Amino acid sequence: QVQLQESGGGSVQAGGSLKLSCVVSGYIGTRYYWGWFRQAPGQEREIVAGITFNDMTTYGDSVKGRFTISQDKTENTLYLEMTNLRPEDTAMYYCAAPTPGRNKWLSLRRSSEYEYWGRGTQVTVSS
């Protein structure tokens, strides 16, 4: 059974930094891409960042230049380094992965491209 476990969330002041981690277990097969999404209360889930097997990345427009996604394939871990955090970054952050072996996608920015989701880690940024 595929499981994604996020960690690293917390409360920071505007301008601060956090680094999120996501460990995947039970994933049998090649993971061609995975990513981070976030959802604030009353808002739709949105892409934060995605990364492919060969480290090509994509970012949501509001986080470009501030957030960096990376992965450690040997440790089955996905990271999201967040700097210069803003109050509008406050949300639950979710790690997501596709069906094992799926190697075709239209856009990493679409939540429908992902099959498995973690439970999320809360990030709160105060002004």
pLDDT, tens only, 68-126: 999 999 999 999 999 999 999 999 999 999 999 888 888 999 999 999 999 999 999 99
pLDDT band per the 50, 70, 90 thresholds, residue 34: very high
Q: Is the pLDDT of residue 51 over 90?
A: yes
The residues pairing with 36 across neighbouring beta strands, listed in sequence order, are 49, 95
Q: Is the pLDDT of residue 33 over 90?
A: yes
Q: Rounded to an integer, what is the distance from CA 80 to the centroid of its chain?
A: 6
Average pLDDT across the chain, whole number: 96
- Return d(Cα 58, Cα 28) in angstroms, integer: 25
Q: Is the pLDDT of residue 40 over 90?
A: yes
Question: Given this model, what pLDDT does residue 101 score?
Answer: 87
Burial class (CB in 10 A: 0-12, 13-18, 19+), 35: buried
Question: Given this model, what pLDDT does residue 37 score?
Answer: 98
Going by the DSSP 8-state scheme, the letter that residue 26 receives in this structure is: S
State both tokens at 30: 């090649």
Q: What backbone torsions phi and psi does residue 97 show, to the nearest 5 degrees?
A: -140, 155
Give the three-class secondary structure for 89: helix
State both tokens at 119: 């439970």
